[in-house]
C-alpha cells in the first residue's frame, strides 16, 4: 500500500477506541482496483429489532483508494465502486459513512462525485525530497535559531526505530496532555500503546530530546513508504527554554532525510482558521509545504437515516454528521 493509514493493522489499532470492527472492501474490474478500509460501528439506536451500522475512517486519514487505473478511467471506476459498495451497505445494514480523505494522496478528488466532500482545512509538513537541506529550506528562521541555542546549551537528541517499550514516552505524553487540559480523545490508554507496538512496531519512530541525562521531550511517529507521520509528542514544561518540541522536529527531519524519506507530515490545526495556533506552530517546520484536507460523507440508506434522526430527536439536515449521533 501507499501509506500506513490503509493497512489493516492500522485500522485494527482503533477498533476499541471507536467501538467498531475494522473491515476492508476491495473492488476490482478491468479499469482498476479500489481498496477501502473503514471501521464499522453499531448505531446505538435500534428499532424493529434490527441492528444498523455506520462507517468511519480510522483515526487519521483514509477513504477509498484507486490503484492501477488510467486517469481517464478513474471516474467510471469510482462509479462502478459505488454500485458495488452500495450492495455491501444494503447487505450489511450500513446507513451512513464519514470519511477523512488523505491529503497527500488526493483521493478526495477521485470520489468527489460519490461522496459529498468538503475542504476542512490545510495540513503541512517538511519536504525532505526536494531540498538538499530541509532544515534550512523548510524551517523558519526563528525555529532554526531556537535549535541552535538548544544545541549550544547542551541539549541532545536520539532516534529509535521499533522501540522495545513506551513507558517513558507515556509518562511525558500524559503529563503534557494534563498540562494542556487536552480533550479525552487524546488520552490513549495503556492498551492502545501495547497494541501500537504489537501491530505497528516496525513502523514506529521514537524521537527523544535529553538535557543533563534527563529526557525532556519525546515524539512518536509512524514511518511507512515515503512518508513519516508525526503522531503524538510530549515535553517537560520546566525545560521549555530549551525548545524540546523544536528539537524533536529537527531530529525527525535529520533522520528522515538520512534514511531516504520524502516527507514528514505534521497534519493541521484544531480548526479551519488560517491563524489556528497549532497550525501556525507546525508551519514553522514547513514554510513551503501545504496540503488540502477534505472530509466526505454519504447516506447509503436515506429512509433509515431519517428514522434514526427522528428517534434521536435531531434534524437530518444538521451540519453534524451523522446527525443521529449528535448528543
Report pLDDT for 180.
83
CATH for 129-261, among 3.40.630.30, 3.40.50.2000, 3.60.60.10, 1.10.640.10?
3.40.630.30
Are 4-121+293-325 and 129-261 the same fold in CATH? yes
Q: Write down the pTM of the prediction.
A: 0.93
CATH number for the domain whose boundaries are 4-121+293-325? 3.40.630
Average pLDDT over the chain, rounded to an integer: 95
Helix, strand or coil for residue 21?
strand
Sign (positive or negative) of CA dihedral 300, 303, 306, 307: negative
Q: How confident is the model at residue 107 (pLDDT cuts 50, 70, 90)?
A: very high
Give the model confidence (pLDDT) of 183-207 as tens digits: 777 789 999 999 999 999 999 999 9
Closest alpha carbon to 74 in 106, 33, 14, 118: 33
Domain borders along the chain are: 4-121+293-325, 129-261
C-alpha cell at 282: 507546525
Question: In angstroms, what CA-CA distances link 221 with 73, 191, 206, 251?
Answer: 35, 18, 6, 12
Report pLDDT for 315.
79
Once rounded to an integer, what is the mean pLDDT over residues 102-112? 97
Report pLDDT for 1.
60
Decide if 233 contacts 218 (C-beta within 8 A): yes
Amino acid at each position: 500500500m501507499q501509506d500506513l493509514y490503509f493497512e489493516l493493522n492500522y485500522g485494527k489499532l482503533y477498533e476499541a477506541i471507536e467501538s467498531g470492527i475494522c473491515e476492508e472492501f476491495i473492488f476490482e474490474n478491468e479499469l482498476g482496483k479500489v481498496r477501502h478500509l473503514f471501521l464499522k460501528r453499531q448505531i446505538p439506536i435500534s428499532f424493529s429489532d434490527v441492528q444498523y451500522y455506520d462507517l468511519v475512517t480510522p483515526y487519521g486519514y483514509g477513504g477509498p483508494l484507486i490503484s492501477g487505473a488510467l486517469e481517464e478511467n478513474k471516474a467510471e471506476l469510482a462509479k462502478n465502486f459505488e454500485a458495488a459498495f452500495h450492495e455491501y451497505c444494503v447487505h450489511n445494514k450500513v446507513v451512513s459513512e464519514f470519511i477523512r480523505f488523505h491529503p497527500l494522496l488526493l483521493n478526495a478528488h477521485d470520489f468527489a462525485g460519490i461522496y459529498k466532500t468538503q475542504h476542512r482545512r490545510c495540513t503541512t509538513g517538511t519536504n525532505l525530497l526536494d531540498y538538499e537541506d530541509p532544515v534550512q529550506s523548510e524551517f523558519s528562521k526563528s525555529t532554526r535559531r531556537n535549535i541552535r541555542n538548544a544545541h549550544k546549551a547542551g541539549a541532545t537528541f536520539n532516534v529509535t526505530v521499533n522501540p522495545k517499550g513506551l513507558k517513558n514516552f507515556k509518562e511525558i505524553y500524559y503529563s503534557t496532555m494534563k498540562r494542556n487540559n487536552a480533550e479525552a480523545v487524546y488520552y490513549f490508554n495503556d492498551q492502545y500503546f501495547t497494541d501500537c507496538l504489537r501491530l505497528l512496531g516496525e513502523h514506529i519512530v521514537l524521537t527523544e530530546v535529553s538535557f543533563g541525562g534527563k529526557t525532556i521531550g519525546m515524539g512518536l511517529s509512524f514511518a511507512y513508504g515515503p512518508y513519516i507521520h508525526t503522531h503524538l509528542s510530549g515535553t517537560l514544561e520546566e525545560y521549555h527554554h530549551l525548545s524540546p518540541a523544536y528539537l524533536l522536529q529537527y531530529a525527525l527531519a535529520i533522520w528522515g532525510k538520512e534514511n531516504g524519506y520524502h516527507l514528514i507530515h505534521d497534519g493541521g490545526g484544531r480548526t479551519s482558521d488560517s491563524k489556528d495556533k497549532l497550525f501556525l506552530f507546525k508551519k514553522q517546520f514547513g514554510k513551503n509545504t501545504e496540503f488540502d484536507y477534505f472530509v466526505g460523507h454519504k447516506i447509503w440508506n436515506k429512509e433509515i437515516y431519517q428514522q434514526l434522526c427522528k428517534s434521536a430527536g435531531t434534524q437530518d439536515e444538521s451540519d453534524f454528521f451523522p446527525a443521529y449521533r449528535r448528543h
